[in-house]
């Protein structure tokens, strides 16, 4: 990743791994890394990923990406984030994740889908 040109950092928080990508504004890929982040299954039909696990996996993936050229980290001019869930994950300025006891769980999604379907059927009557 040698050079002095600006870089953009893409972060994809997936269901089994966090992937990071450094690229130039013109789209030239300068490097990438990934870190596993498997979900837990505390009960049948549930999948949970504690937000702090996403955060820690992101930190490790970014560290791996810039391990050979730490000065390249300072060239990052923007960050894009992609994820598998439509829930916000807030962070403090200190870079520690703001977590609550709530976990992202597949049963929450299933419940919301069912609630939406039920409401849609009532609306058609």
CATH of 7-124, one of 3.40.50.300, 3.90.1170.50, 3.30.420.40, 1.10.730.10: 3.30.420.40
The pLDDT of 108-118, averaged and rounded, is: 59
One DSSP character per residue, 8-49 reads: EEEEEE-SSEEEEEEE-TT--EEEEEEEE-PPB-SSTT--EE
- Please report which confidence band the pLDDT of residue 100 belongs to, taking 50, 70 and 90 as the band edges: very low
Asked if 48 contacts 105 with a C-beta cutoff of 8 angstroms, the reply is yes
**Average pLDDT of the residues in 13-36:** 92
pLDDT of residue 84: 67
Which whole number is the average pLDDT over 83-103? 53
Per residue in 37-62, pLDDT (tens digit) is 888 888 887 777 888 888 899 999 99
Least confident of 1-5, 52-56, 102-106: 102-106
**Of all helices (H) and strands (E), which one includes residue 107?**
helix 106-124
User: Domains of the chain: which residue ranges?
Assistant: 7-124
Residue 97, helix vs strand vs coil? strand
Q: Tell me the backbone φ, ψ of residue 63, rounded to 5 degrees.
A: -60, -45
pLDDT at 31 over 70: yes
């Amino acid at each position: 990743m040698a050079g002095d040109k600006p870089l953009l950092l893409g972060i994809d928080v997936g269901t089994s791994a966090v992937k990071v990508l450094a690229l130039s504004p013109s789209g030239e890929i300068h490097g990438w890394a990934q870190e596993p982040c498997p979900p837990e299954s505390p009960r049948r039909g549930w999948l949970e990923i504690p937000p702090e696990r996403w955060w820690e996996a992101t930190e490790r993936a970014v560290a791996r990406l810039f391990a050979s050229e730490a000065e390249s980290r300072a060239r990052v001019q923007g960050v894009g984030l992609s994820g598998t869930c439509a829930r916000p994950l807030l962070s403090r300025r200190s870079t520690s994740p703001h977590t609550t006891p709530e976990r992202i769980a597949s049963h929450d999604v299933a419940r919301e889908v069912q609630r939406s379907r039920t409401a849609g059927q009532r609306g058609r009557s």
